[in-house]
Amino acid sequence: MVSSLLEIDLDKIKYNTAQVKKICGRQGIKVLGVTKGFSAIPQIVAAMVAGGVDGLADARMENIIKLRNYGFDQEMTLLRIPKLSNVADVVHYTNVSVNSEITVIKALSQAAGKLHSPHQIVLMIDVGDLREGVMAENVLATAKQISRLPGVRLIGLGTNMGCFGGVLPSINNLGLLVELGTCIEKQLGLQIEIISGGATSTLSLVETGIVPAGVNQLRIGEGILLGTDSTNNRKIPWLCDDAFLLRAEVIEFKAKPSVPIGDIGRDAFGNIPQFADEGLRKRAILALGKQDVNIEGITPIDENLKILGASSDHLIVDATDSAANIHVGDAICFRLNYSGILSASQSRYIGKKFYGGNYG
């Protein structure tokens, strides 16, 4: 029995997928549906597939293996640089992996030979965000090394932006990616089939039609799931932003002082809390805590409710300004951002309820 529930509208996931696919398709850009943000829950993946994604992508081999076991046979891309310790699984379960370390690519080559299963490589290029990727001046030499390895084939270049350094995609940094692909083709005679120009943050360039010619793939998770683009701090106006809702049950509702009584020490997480004296306030305690979800990733739908804080198992909400007639046993509803979905989807304490079509 669970007292918190993540509600998922699969029709809205399908709709968002189809919209992203349509706007990208107008510019010759294929869409990989990124499944890592919701722990690759099969029902949601099926809605993405129904919406027309060109392939699936995840950063976790555990998720990819799960999807294969559920029968998903779409082209699968591993989005996190493979670990040396699991190259055999990468070759066996995925079609493509993103890479930046020649040592790992050599190991993939050896695994591909042993398994008699060729593997495709997208070489990640660091264009400024300073997460993974080969620096531009080393791309040609790295591509040359890959071209000599049996069992693996360099099919594309990719880049990541916004996830670490907050760097936004632009005509300049995506143009550099295209130029490097052209350079490899001319100097090494290789065919670069894919220029993977980032993720949801690149959609703003797609909308305005200024993505450099040659970028032909995006890896979309947040936009499909949430209809938002956190890197650019915006709601995407042509997408649904309410496919996910979280409900949590009220287990106490009382008027209490706004400042704790007694000497203040550290809370259960080592922090010293700060309180403003606002007199007596109506407070709802919910059966939801930090063990269930990232509290910073949820926002009450009722804008007059205010999250005061949380412990492992309890969420404290100020309900004084709300017009709602709240009682013990009622449910309070929250929207989630990407970190909220990421945590709620993998929490065994939060139930999952699906609405809409059956896309399995």
Domains of the chain, CATH where assigned: 9-235 (3.20.20.10), 244-355 (2.40.30)
Note the pLDDT of residue 159.
94
Residue for token digits 């205010």? 306
Note the pLDDT of residue 267.
63
Is pLDDT at 251 greater than 90 in this prediction?
A: yes
Residue 36: active-site member: yes
- pLDDT tens digit sequence for 255-265: 998 767 666 66
Note the pLDDT of residue 358.
85
- In the chain, the percentage of residues whose pLDDT exceeds 70 is 93
- pLDDT tens digit sequence for 208-220: 999 999 999 999 9
Note the pLDDT of residue 268.
57
Note the pLDDT of residue 231.
87
Mean pLDDT of 13-30: 98
| Longest Cα separation, the chain | 74
Exactly one of 22, 30, 36, 144 is catalytic; name it: 36
Quick one: pLDDT band at residue 254, thresholds 50, 70, 90?
A: very high
- pLDDT tens digit sequence for 56-92: 999 999 999 999 999 999 999 999 999 999 999 999 9
Q: Which residues pair with 134 in a beta bridge?
A: 125
Q: CB-based burial of residue 85 (10 Å sphere; 0-12 exposed, 13-18 middle, 19+ buried)?
A: exposed
